[in-house]
Chain A
Amino acid sequence: MHMITRYRRRLIPAALAALAMGSPPAALAQDLPGGVLTVAMTVSDVPDWAGMPDQGFEGHRFVGYSLYEGLVSWDLSTSDQEVDIIPGLAEAWSIDPENPSRWIFDLREGVSFHDGCAWNAEAAVWNYQRLIDESHPGFNQVDFARARSRTSTIAEVELIDDMTFALHTTDVESLFPYNLVYVLMVSPCAYEAAGNDRAAYAATPSGTGPYVFGSAVPGERLELLRNDAYWNPDRIPQHERLVLLPMPEATTRAAALLSGQVDFVEAPSPDMIPALEGAGMTVVLNEYPHYWPYRLNVLEGPFADVRVRQAANYAINRDEMVALLNGTATPAFGAHTTNQRNFGEPYRFSYDPERARALLEEAGCLPCEVTIGISPAGSGQMQPLPMNELMQAHLSAAGFDVTFEVIDWNTMIGVFIRGAVAHPEYDAINFSSASMEPLQFVKSFMKRFQTPGGSNWGGYHHAEAEELMAAALQSFDPAEQDDLIRQAHELVVADAAQIFVVSDLNPRAMAPHVQDFVQAQSWFQDMTPIRVE
């Protein structure tokens, strides 16, 4: 087992002093450290830098949140707390007391886009309008498609005054702000100067983020430069340049780090970690909202019976799975990790194959034949083939007869999007999940979010939990929201809604000269505090 290295971000004394004295952040530029931070990402291409990024959360992590910001941001400043949303380009937001579908945003003063364009309500309206209105001159199908799951409930965009605007939702949706953290603001001036042509805009992209665009070689590298005039002095990058290289092969990333070509690599293979540590590299791990489950088809087949679902959860030896992964995971006992505020105190399924067999016998399903869709690779899927082989061994030992259908990752995405109704051939699918926001949890377990149109693949339904989650969606009191979701989580775990197996610990490796990285408990990370000594 590897030590979990935790860092706390150091405060930047100079920046704080400057703030206290009221100096503009730009005045600090001459005192800022230099250095180039070169990062090997796991993606196969440079994430799109011309607005809404592609390449999943890694695209947001390295490019989206470096160049751009949303109304709402993530607080990624610590490694020992669950990450939640904080004000971003909006200083505050509130629900209209007379209209629970009208969200009012007070925008942050004194912020400019990299090209000097002012951040104000007009810019905010322009950005949201172009994502929902096909007739808007700034509309582009790429950004529309990438933002759609976050903007589909926006009915209207309303300009109130210079620094205030409102978003109207199609229904009462108390968790709506969690959507806005993914919707990134581009400079209307830069976009219009590029003739509203997304490809032309890509040559001079402009956001409000802590980095400005430097240069790019498509498919190979993206170079970002420190934004000396960034509005938040706490997050002015502590290195001069950030170079991002796509490097999908784990062995190649490790070789690049060991040979000194890069300073920081994402997701080293668990097998490589001892070698990297032996060579003096720093390997960091931390919990984050991820879990690796089997999503069960509860509409028909063996998993419609709660006893079979519970049997499967008892059958899994999670500690052995963690050992297989060389300590880069932690046992999962629910859809939230144990340190998330909404984990609660759910029933914990321990490893008990005898009890699993007894439950299968009681359910009249022994041996219990199940067909499970798995993929050989995929985002968040960890090491799917060896892990599924171990799952098969555990389930078989408890009385299951498991048949795997191996399908490629894109086919698996299609199976997930269409749902279990369209794919009754699968009793379960192995499809990992992010549960970083209450909204994601609700979409995974509420019947009304059964796919398509949600993330509840197997049509799961628990009447009491459904009521709790529906109440959470209507409540505007964060404490009450959390309480309702916590209770719902406890219920769906006891009901064995899925087979919860492990959560990834998100390993990263870096050269000894890379200092001050704070690994937040998140899919996203803040690269700005890193110093390259």
Chain B
Amino acid sequence: MSSLEHPLYNFEITHAPDAGGHFGRFGGRFAAETLMQPLLEIEQAFYAAWADPEFHRERLDLLKNYVGRATPLYHAERLTKLSGGAQIYLKREDLNHTGAHKINNTIGQGLLARRMGKKRVIAETGAGQHGVATATVAAMFGMQCDIFMGREDMARQMPNVLRMRLLGANVIPVDSGTATLKDAVNEALRNWVASCEDTFYIFGTAAGPHPYPLLVRQFHTVIGQEARAQILEQAGRLPDVAIACVGGGSNAIGLLHPFRDDLDVRLVAVEAAGYGLKTGKHAASLAAGKAGILHGNLTYLLEDDEGQVLGTHSISAGLDYPGVGPELALMLEEGRLELDAATDDEALTALQQLTRSEGIIPALESSHAIAAGCRIAATMREDQIVIINLSGRGDKDMDNVFKHLGWLEEKQ
């Protein structure tokens, strides 16, 4: 590529945050002084890379030939029939190498790390998908890799822990706090403070201190840009609804952002309602949280009256996070984003429905989007279109799913 032009992707940065990384009143760079210089250096390196055709040539080459992009947009006719209503299309991010959308971002940040001459990468992980995607890129680039993971999550996602080890990464258990994703972020930040000279922190979601929400978004918008072109080609028009699950919000911003200026397209974020929003045992920071500052950005947080961050609950480790990306917080406040939620049970049901109707086993995270997507489609006309982001595949969740279905006990 000789200039910044591509038949499928566009590289213009729209709805950019301000110079300090603020999306309206959200976002920003609430970081300790020790991290300010490293963050400023990443911001500089990102803008320089983004303006460089060679960076995109390398990135898109890897996305195509290593990751397997573009991923299909699949018209799920049997699921559509089952739901009754709008035509359901699935954006098949589960078909990416490593089984989820996460690798779009780790390829981008990995390339950035290499450009900056870093020899080691670190990352936090919840479900383990970001950890696996980081370990994969580290293996490919020949970089040292340490992954921080809550001990609770390690137990829930053991196959991914073992995959990361197989890939040569060192998985470091985190016991502090609630021993889940937020604590893994704390520990990764602590490690990075002491190692930033030779280490790049590959942040896993579109949250955290500026520039992470921006650069994670930019690396994931390939999802929505492809989906937009694919639906125009397949159906001859834009969808009525685009829908994605939200933990930190990386797959959601990746799918939804390219539709942001298509004002006739409803954008829906599905949060994890856990045992139910009324029980207090959930991870729905947009629906039930209030503004707060955590992990470098101002956003919606699940917190108590005095600002102590609360533990969360979701059947899916990848949604089990008390915050959310600042741009989604702004889109909600501006009325551009609609909220929905799915409980643990609804996600489990949706996982089985999709599996049996289409032969596709989704990740528990993505099953939340399937549940809400089918529910919304059922309220719509047959000539309408819903695109659901199938952000990851379910292999990693099988033990957990079998346990919840009671199948493991039957065996004994």
Bound pair (A, B): no
Q: A-contacting residues of B (Cβ < 8 Å)?
A: none
Q: B-contacting residues of A (Cβ < 8 Å)?
A: none
